[in-house]
Structure 1
Amino acid sequence: MKKLATALLIATMAFGMAASVQVVPAESADPITFTFAMVDPETSPYYKGAAKIAEEVEKATDGRIKIKIVAGGTLGGERDTVELAMTGDIDIATAANSVMTNFIPEMSILDQAFLWANAAQAHAAVDGPVGALIQEKAKRLGLNVIGYMESGFRNVFSVKPIQKIEDFSGVKIRTMQNQYHMAAFSAFGAMPVAMAAGEQFTALQQGTIDAAENAIANCWNNGFYEVTKNITYTNHAFVYILLCMSDNAWNKIPEDLREPFLAAVKRGYEAQRQYLVDANEEATEKLKGVGVVFHDIDNSALQAAYQKAAAEKGWKFDPAWQAAVDQTIATVK
């Protein structure tokens, strides 16, 4: 009887303790917060896109994942932050495709001038076969490429009007440190000068350079219109902004949230692409309002000059990457 009473007492105590324990649902736990580093300022369409990504992710995961954006290069330049993402010290870094060629050399195929006929081709490439190759290489670096924002096609801002290929003769133009872009302007007869982005305005003002090139919205945002009153629609290059997530951060995402997370990121970066279109259209109207003149040019003449220069240099690309690019061009018109 004594043993039975003791057993009953223990069982009663265990039941009471179990009844007092509250099961805390996963949703009420502290959210996972990722740091998203970018060099662009909060006034840019790129920041607006990042904010949309953060909004969509929080909504899709019921607040279980949040993204904190640190803009303006506070955490370092593009290459710096990508390297920090590789080591897991930053969760998400952004970098232009030309920067990523430092880590994935095969990506230089995307740096070619006049590669894509339109934005639809450019999107289809990274959302499809080229993107798959990039992801495969990125995984070996400890990165997950979770999407592509963009700064789109680049055009020329110049002190003097440029309306035909001959007008490029002797023009000193700032470009990125990119052999394909520089070769293109050399082929046009210009004198390309590699220069840090932050030095362009002063260089234009002092006459060190005669022109620069970028998305039209950047001409307005950076005040280049104060010293360059001409914009020429060259559409000579298309620039992507990769979203690189560290393996360390990716592995923190619960399995049940990974698909909703990626779908939310996609909604965000697709919104950014439209924000850029809107920003370029708005900037065009503003620039016209302050006296900037827009010029068309015979792009076929520019392309022919570049292709001749490229053939002379004998540039070749990885066969698998070339096939992926060719597939995109053949299937998307």
Structure 2
Amino acid sequence: MRKIKKGKQVIAVLLMMAMVVTSATACGSKKSSEKEQLVFRMAIVDGEASPIYKGAKAMADAVYEKTDGEIKIVVVTGGALGDERGSVELCSQGDLDIASAANSVLTNFIPEMDILDQPYLWENEEQAHAAVDGPVGDLISKAAEDKLNVHVIGYLESGFRDTFSKKPIKSISDFKGVKIRTMQNQFHMAAFQSFGAMPTAMAYNEVFTGLQQGTIDACENAVSNCLSNGYYEVTKNVTYTHHAFTYIPVMMSDKAWKMIPDDLKDEFMEGCEEGYKAERQYLKDANNEAIKELKKKGVKFWNIDMKELKSAYEAEAKKRGFKFDPTWQKAVDQVIAETK
């Protein structure tokens, strides 16, 4: 009986050892084959119907694909994580993974960027894109790291801004006395003053009511916004002033950046680039579609002598003594020279 009992004990011990080895092997296998997914939040102030959202989503999708699902970006819309300035501050502190903000907002942190707020800086989209894809983008990236401790991972955009008005504006003389809402930007305001208009700073969410009540006679933005914000109900004229180009730089906190494994950083950036460059076409499509829809709603579109507008602004800028950082000016001049 003792021998049988002892034999049973030996068998039990062997079985237990086998189970431990199997379990350890299985755990080791699971650990080596499954990597923990990184999830980052990206804040944008636009809604899901906007080209900006489509571009942000394209960045997220491309990153997910190129990293084999190891990195996931969740796009949070409608300013749910704060306004542009607030989200930049959170990102700078490491409390938000990815922020986005118009270039004019970033001048609060990087004053040298005010050169991009100049009206009639770029003649076309190719120049505007060559700037951030080249020497100007390099300066933005360096300044963002030095001053905000963030990494620029892309450039979404709302593109050229045009004028929406109650009365037709077909020439510079038609601007005389027109009360127009602009961003609180000294260069944009100087431009409309040089045209003879009366620029007024107003909160973005008050523009429709301002137009409706007659507080303002006009506003300015990308054409697609005239449709999406319903401005066409109170402004039946769009003038192709193309007076300014708006970028939406996308920035990642240093804390989040350091979480990305070195062997995935190239794939991550490739995905970001693929996505934000796709947004350029989304924006173009949205503007073209908006023009068709607005025409159906009775909105009229007018061309204007942009050379005359540019000359008027440049004379005003000279009178006011507007000057820009020499290094940034050199980069801008390089882009213009190389894309003529």
TM-score range, shorter chain: over 0.9
| The structure with more radius of gyration | 2
Q: CA deviation at 1:21?
A: 4.9
Provide the TM-score with structure 1 as the length reference: 0.94
Sort the Cα spacing of 1:264 and 1:191 in 2 relative to 1 into closer, same or farther, 3 A: same
CA distance in 1, matches of 2:33, 2:315: 60
1:281-296 equivalent positions in 2, closer than 5 A: 281-296=288-303
Q: CA deviation at 1:316?
A: 1.1
Provide the residue aligned with 2:244 in structure 1: 237
Sort the Cα spacing of 1:321 and 1:32 in 2 relative to 1 into closer, same or farther, 3 A: same
Provide the residue aligned with 1:90 in structure 2: 96
Sort the Cα spacing of 1:26 and 1:280 in 2 relative to 1 into closer, same or farther, 3 A: farther
The one-letter code sitting in structure 2 at the alignment partner of 1:137 is A
- Which stretch shifts more, 165-174 or 37-46? 37-46
User: Is the aligned partner of 1:298 residue 2:305?
Assistant: yes
Question: Percent identity, aligned pairs only?
Answer: 59
Question: 8 Å contact 1:27–1:64 — kept in the other structure?
Answer: no
1:1-333 equivalent positions in 2, closer than 5 A: 16=21, 19=25, 21-24=27-30, 28-140=34-146, 141-333=148-340
Q: CA deviation at 1:26?
A: 5.8
Sort the Cα spacing of 1:298 and 1:21 in 2 relative to 1 into closer, same or farther, 3 A: closer
Count of residue pairs brought into register by the alignment: 322
CA distance in 1, matches of 2:187, 2:319: 13
Sort the Cα spacing of 1:27 and 1:175 in 2 relative to 1 into closer, same or farther, 3 A: farther
Sort the Cα spacing of 1:26 and 1:245 in 2 relative to 1 into closer, same or farther, 3 A: farther
CA distance in 2, matches of 1:295, 1:331: 31
Deviations 1:38-87 (A, max 9, x none): 10011111111111111111000000000111100111100000000001
The one-letter code sitting in structure 1 at the alignment partner of 2:200 is V
Structure 1 counterpart SS, 2:101: strand
CA distance in 2, matches of 1:272, 1:26: 37
Deviations 1:242-281 (A, max 9, x none): 1011001100100011001001000100111110000000
The one-letter code sitting in structure 2 at the alignment partner of 1:74 is A
The one-letter code sitting in structure 2 at the alignment partner of 1:178 is N
CA distance in 2, matches of 1:295, 1:129: 34
Q: CA deviation at 1:28?
A: 1.9
Q: CA deviation at 1:224?
A: 0.1
Structure 1 counterpart SS, 2:200: strand
Question: 8 Å contact 1:125–1:328 — kept in the other structure?
Answer: yes
Provide the residue aligned with 2:13 in structure 1: none
Sort the Cα spacing of 1:19 and 1:197 in 2 relative to 1 into closer, same or farther, 3 A: closer
Structure 2 counterpart SS, 1:261: helix
Deviations 1:4-31 (A, max 9, x none): xxxxxxxxx7995875652346662231
Q: CA deviation at 1:315?
A: 1.1
Q: CA deviation at 1:197?
A: 0.8
Provide the residue aligned with 2:9 in structure 1: none
Gaps of 5+ in 2: 1-16
The one-letter code sitting in structure 1 at the alignment partner of 2:38 is I
* CA RMSD in angstroms, aligned pairs only: 1.6
Provide the TM-score with structure 2 as the length reference: 0.92
CA distance in 1, matches of 2:242, 2:101: 20
The one-letter code sitting in structure 2 at the alignment partner of 1:149 is L
CA distance in 2, matches of 1:134, 1:56: 23
CA distance in 2, matches of 1:91, 1:246: 5
Provide the residue aligned with 2:12 in structure 1: none
Gaps of 5+ in 1: 1-12
